[in-house]
Amino acid sequence: MPFKFNPITGKLDIVDGVGSPPTGFSWNNVTGVSVNMAVNNAYIADNVALVTLTLPATAAVGQVVWVIGQGTGLWRIAQNVGQTIHFGNVDSTPGVGGSITATNRYDAIQLVCTVANTDWVCTGVAQGNPNVV
């Protein structure tokens, strides 16, 4: 389903349909324990151990990443230097010490870059109650 970045709200607006990544997204089944994410990609964390997915170091405003849980080991989104994840009214610790971690096997989240390279915001497309550090 196509999405369109809304610069006023800083979120993606659904052009038609509900709950799917924009057309042209690449789906990546991650069966290892870590991966460096690329913009405009969706990731299925599928391992019995924790899967750490690191945000792209370079991202333009409006670019998106999705993470969906599948494996029992859950997932964690790690950050690079200077990056922050904003989840509702909670912000992660800036830089490499910050992260957001699934608390249930099938937790899912969509993040959009709102400040080039540094700020990532949950667009409201989230399932579960992730832990923000």
76 confidence band (pLDDT: 50, 70, 90): very high
Per-residue pLDDT tens for 16-37?
Answer: 444 555 556 788 999 999 999 9
What is the domain partition of the chain in residue ranges? 3-132
Query: What is the chain written as a DSSP string?
Result: --EEEETTTTEEEESSSSS-PPTTPEEEEE-SSEEE--TTEEEEE--SSPEEEEPPSS--TT-EEEEEE-STT-EEEE--TT-EEEETTEEPPSSTT-EEE-SSTT-EEEEEEEETTTEEEEEEEEES-PEE-
Per-residue pLDDT tens for 86-127?
Answer: 999 999 999 999 999 999 999 999 999 999 999 999 986 677
How high is the pLDDT of residue 24? 64
pLDDT at position 2 over 80? no
The CATH fold assigned to 3-132 is Jelly Rolls (2.60.120)
How high is the pLDDT of residue 25? 73
